[in-house]
Structure 1
Amino acid sequence: MNWYLDVLKNYAGFSGRARRKEYWMFVLFNCLAALVLVGIGFVIETQIPYIIYILAVLVPALAVMVRRLHDTGRSGWWMLISFVPLVGGIMLLVFLASDGKPEANAYGENPKLAPQAV
């Protein structure tokens, strides 16, 4: 749960690097929350809670994706490759799932080597 909250605390931080674990834990909790809100929406017969949630986490989701791309040595603009039909989404998924560069790059130090806050 801390991975999710850390991303929300750094909601507009588009600089730096994000580990794979940080990104994918955020995606996991995001999907679980969305599923719960869709279920609640079916019960109360409106999807307004889901829409509000999606709009609330849009900027943090984009920020953590940019930081994840930075960890792999790519610019955040690479997320636009997802607009290429068929191949773009697959390429972005591969970029997001690949291991980060072990050395420091233009976007900062390796987050795996940085001390984690407790």
Structure 2
Amino acid sequence: MSFGTAVSTCLKKYGTFNGRAKRSEFWFFYLFTVLVSGIPAGIGAGLVASGGSGGTSSVGAVIYGIAIVISLAFVIPTLAVGCRRLHDRGQSGWWQLLLLVP
């Protein structure tokens, strides 16, 4: 499965927790979410931390806020593809709840 196919499949199955997901589908979508939300978050945090003049810290805060909104939008499809991947391995999707344990 190619990168684009994996991303489009996961977005089409936004809230589908039934079924199975191939390994490539899971990892390509995970890479996509890291690139789409992680890179802007890092740039925004870097601009805020630099605290430079000229409003770069406020621009950084806006970029960081947008990255957080994007990350929140990907929570459900990430959990769904994770659940489908666990089903493919013959395990229950409920194992993802262990991620919530500190």
How does the TM-score come out when normalised to structure 1? 0.64
Aligned partner of 2:92 in structure 1 is 75
- Count of residue correspondences: 85
Runs (5+) with no aligned partner, structure 2: 48-55
Spell out the pairing of 1:1-118 with structure 2 (5 A cutoff).
Answer: 1-41=4-44, 42=47, 44-46=59-61, 47-83=64-100
The Cα shift of 1:82 comes to: 3.1
Rounded to whole Å, the distance in 2 between the matches of 1:18 and 1:7 is 9
- Residue type matched to 1:74 in 2? Q
Contact 2:41 2:68 (8 Å CA) reproduced: no
How does the TM-score come out when normalised to structure 2? 0.74
Rounded to whole Å, the distance in 2 between the matches of 1:48 and 1:81 is 27
- Residue type matched to 1:16 in 2? G
The Cα shift of 1:33 comes to: 1.2
Over the matched positions of the two proteins, sequence identity in percent amounts to: 44
Runs (5+) with no aligned partner, structure 1: 86-118
- The SS at the match of 2:25 is helix
Rounded to whole Å, the distance in 1 between the matches of 2:18 and 2:25 is 15
Rounded to whole Å, the distance in 2 between the matches of 1:60 and 1:2 is 15
Contact 2:37 2:68 (8 Å CA) reproduced: no
Rounded to whole Å, the distance in 1 between the matches of 2:60 and 2:89 is 42
- Residue type matched to 2:82 in 1? M
Rounded to whole Å, the distance in 2 between the matches of 1:34 and 1:83 is 20
Rounded to whole Å, the distance in 2 between the matches of 1:7 and 1:21 is 11
Rounded to whole Å, the distance in 2 between the matches of 1:45 and 1:81 is 33
- Residue type matched to 2:67 in 1? Y
Aligned partner of 1:107 in structure 2 is none
